[in-house]
Structure formats: C-alpha cells, structure tokens
Amino acid sequence: MSSTNRTLMKAAGFLMAAQMASRILGFLRESLMAGFFGQGGVTDAYNTAFVLPDLLYWLLVGGVLSAAFIPVFSEYIAKENEDEGWRVVSSVVNLIFITLGLLILLGLFFTPQFIKLVVPGFAPENTVLAIHLTRILLIQPLFMALSGLTMGVLNSYKIFWPSALGTVLYNASVIFFGTILANPEKPESVSGFAFGVVVGAVISFGVQIPSLRRVGVRYYPIIDLKHPGVRLIGALALPIIISYSLNQIQVVVNNNFGSTLFPGSITAVWYSYRLFQLPVGIFALAIAVATFPTMTEQAALKQWDNFRETISNAIRMVIFITVPISIGMIVLRFPLIRVLFEHGQFTPQDTLTMAIPLFYFSIGISSQAVIQILPRVFYALQDTWTPVLLGIVAMAINIIAMFLLVGPLAHGGLAFATTIAAFANMLLLFYVLHKRMGKMDGWNMFWTSLKSIAASLLMALVVWGWCLLLTPVIGVSTIPSLIMLVTGTAIGVLVFAGMAKLLRMKEFNLVMGMVHRKMGKR
C-alpha cells in the first residue's frame, strides 16, 4: 500500500473510532428521550424543531464548507500561499456570520408561520411546543457555523481529531442537560434536550480553538468580494446553496405527510433514519472526510492516476463495510430496536411501528454510503454544479416516490422513497463521473460489490436461522434481545469474514492489516 493510502486509512480509522463514540452517545441520547417521552406528539415536535435551524446552517455553512471552502483553502496550502488563503477565509467567515445573524433574527420572528407550513397536521399543543423548541435551537447555527468553519480550516491541514472530539462532547452535552431536566409528566421539559444542543454546539467549537491557534490562525476584519478566492468559493457554493434550498422542499413534504399520519410517525421515521445513518456516519463519512483533502490536492496537482486510485479505494472500502451491515440490520432490526429504545414510555407497539421504516432505510445503506464520496470527487474537481443538478433529479424522484408510496406503505413509504432516491443518485453520479474521467476501475468496484453481497446473503441466512432457534428459548424482552443482538452480530461477523477470506477480497486483508497494526501498538 502506498504511503498516501496508509495515511488516509490511518486518518479514516481515527475518524471511524471518534464517529463510533459520537454515534453511541447519539443513540444513548435518542434512547433516553424515547424512555422519557415515548414515540408520539412530543417527540414529533422535538424532531420538527430542527428543520429551520438545520436549514440555516446547511444553506450558509454546510454547503460552502463541503463543496467550496476546503477545496479552495487546500489549494492555497498545496501551492504554499497560506497568507492569501487566510484573507479568503476571513472574508468568507465575516460574510457568513453577518448573513446568518440576520436570518436567525428573521427566523425567531417568523417561527410560528414556518412551523405551521411544515407540519399542518399537528395538534395545537404540539405546534406550540415545536415553536418553543425551534426558538431555542435557533441559537445553535451560530456556534455550529464557528465549529464547522474551524473544522474546515483544520481539515485543510489534514488535522481531524479536534472536530471529532467536539462531536463526541456535543452529544454528551445533549445527554447531560436532557437527562437532568426531563420530566415525563411535563411535555415542555423536552426543551432540556434542546438546551443541551445549544451548549454542545458551543463546546464543539471551543475544543477546536487550541488546534486552530497552533496552525497559525490569521484573521482579517475584511469582506473582499472582489478577491478571486472569495469569488471562486461563491461560484462553487452557489449551486450547493440552491440544492439545499430545494432539498428543504423534500423535508417539508416528508413532514407534511408525517403530520397527517398517526402520532409518532415522524419520530418513528426519524429514529429509524438515525439508526440507518449509523454505519454511514461511522464508516462512509469518516472515509470521505479523510479522503477529501487528498483528492483535492491530487486534482490541484493533476495527479490523475493517484486521483482515480484514491476514489476506487474509498468506494470499494465503504461497499465492503456497509453491504453486510445493511443486510445484518434488516435481519436483526427487532432486537436492535428493543435494546436501544424499548423501555420507559417506548412500548412494544412502538417497536413494531419503528421496524417498518428501518427495514426500508436499511436497504439503502450502501447507496447512501457511496454518495458520501462521489459528490466530493466532483467538489475536488471544483465542479459543484454536476452533483447538485443530479441531486435535484434525485430529490424529484424522492418526492414523487413519497407521494406514491405513503398511501400503501404509510410511514414506511417515506423511508422507502429515500432509499429509491439514494440509489438513483448513486447511479447518476457514477455515470457522469465515468463519462468525465474515463477509466474508473469499474470492474474492481463491481467485483467488490458482488462478492460483498454474496458473503452477506450467506451471513444473513445463518444469522436468521440462529434467531429462529434462539427466540423460542429465551424470549424477546430486553436482556434476551441483547443476547440475540450480540450473538447474532458475532456470528454474522465471523461468517462474513470467513467468506471474504475465501473469496480473497483485498478489502478484507486491508481491514485486518489495520486491526493488526492497532493491536500491535497496544
């Protein structure tokens, strides 16, 4: 393996560990909320309250950060022109915070109108609660912007650990304040979790400051709209801003449909979405984040063979990891939900309700994982329009699918529509990238997919048989479900690993090499 790939895998391995810790805390947070408030109108209101703050963040920071900020700043670093890069950073940061501050003020004033637009089917008391929670959470985007932009600077220097630690502490804050302030008898006490979100955002930014100072932060109180770097970021970010604006239509449609179904539908979809995003966040996003600065540098220096190799390695690795997780989550979804959520106010009926969208989401884990990487390939090429235009097509497919499927499948149709759209988006991105880059190591990616599916299907058959044998003996309460989940997962890992070794998959050897190196260091 080349030194570049070793460095990437080391960075990705650290990010995976940090993401896993963060996601575990995230699920503890969701589990505590489910125990305190169940799956109903209160949790629907809480999840709806994130729509407006998330909209503001992704419009002004998320899109700029992922598609424009890191590639442009990384290019200044690669070409040893950091001073000019910092002038660009300062202009962009100043512009973002002035705009974000004004939009937050407008959001605070128009929160009631926005919530009634998003969830017209809510009961009046849940609408009032959603408005209250949204106004608390609207403080969050300012600090998330600081945290996100700082992360972008550090990632450009290939420093990843401070932002990863910040994410862990963010979830810990939500858990702490949510737990000490929650009272199941008082629905409004769910605001403790919202308060924890705001404090967590502050902490997430704060832990990155020392590393930012060590790289030699240079801030200028300027907004130079004529600077070529600022204009380039604006040109690259514009399509992303348009894309996220249109994507909110998708969010509003989803919540509109969910608000007209039975209470708890939005929460069931949200909790399922969180579970299905677990492997995407731990593995695919970690690999994508670790790979992105290298792809950007290789593209800037026109090292096209290395660029293609980096893309292929990243995609094959996420396929190898996520295909068995996808199939395993389908087989073990009932014990998984029981262990994580079925306690306190969360009932066995809630488990049955949640298992439906989780099934449909799980089908699309690998597609979602791959599309964490493919848009970043275009961003590294400083092409932000192509993934946006293809994303708009996928969004249209999603909305049409929701409209067609919500009738026969209810809240399961909302999840299945997301999976269909993700698969379509992945195929479109692959097709256009192949047209542009020519040779893309497609056969190796195809064989990795085929072998991973074959090994995973055998794994699923064995685990399913084990569950059939064990369930009548131990039952389905929390402890038996935990035993089922742990033993089923262990059997699945062994069967898949054995098949991967038998099929001589290179990705298996790479993963085992990483494990051996980690164990050797201990």
Separation of alpha carbons 401 and 250, rounded Å: 11
Question: Domain-by-domain residue ranges, the chain?
Answer: 41-238, 264-522
Q: Residue 258: what pLDDT?
A: 86
Separation of alpha carbons 67 and 58, rounded Å: 11
Q: Residue 8: what pLDDT?
A: 57
- pLDDT tens digits, 397-420: 999 999 999 989 999 999 999 999
* Of residues 237, 230, 227, 296, the one with CA closest to residue 79: 296
Contacts for 49 with CB less than 8 Å, ≥ 6 apart: 130, 133, 134, 136, 137, 194
Tokens, residue 289: 């984040």
Q: Residue 522: what pLDDT?
A: 46
Could you state, in chain order, the average pLDDT of each consecutive group of 10 residues for the chain (522 residues)? Answer: 56 64 79 88 92 85 65 74 80 87 94 92 92 94 85 75 83 92 89 94 90 80 85 80 74 83 88 86 78 84 86 90 95 94 89 95 94 89 86 92 93 95 95 85 86 95 95 90 95 94 83 57 48
Separation of alpha carbons 505 and 323, rounded Å: 14
Separation of alpha carbons 154 and 159, rounded Å: 5
Q: Residue 408: what pLDDT?
A: 92
Q: Is 216 exposed, middle or buried (0-12, 13-18, 19+ CB in 10 A)?
A: exposed
Q: Residue 11: what pLDDT?
A: 59
Q: Residue 345: what pLDDT?
A: 87
Q: Residue 10: what pLDDT?
A: 61
Q: Residue 13: what pLDDT?
A: 61
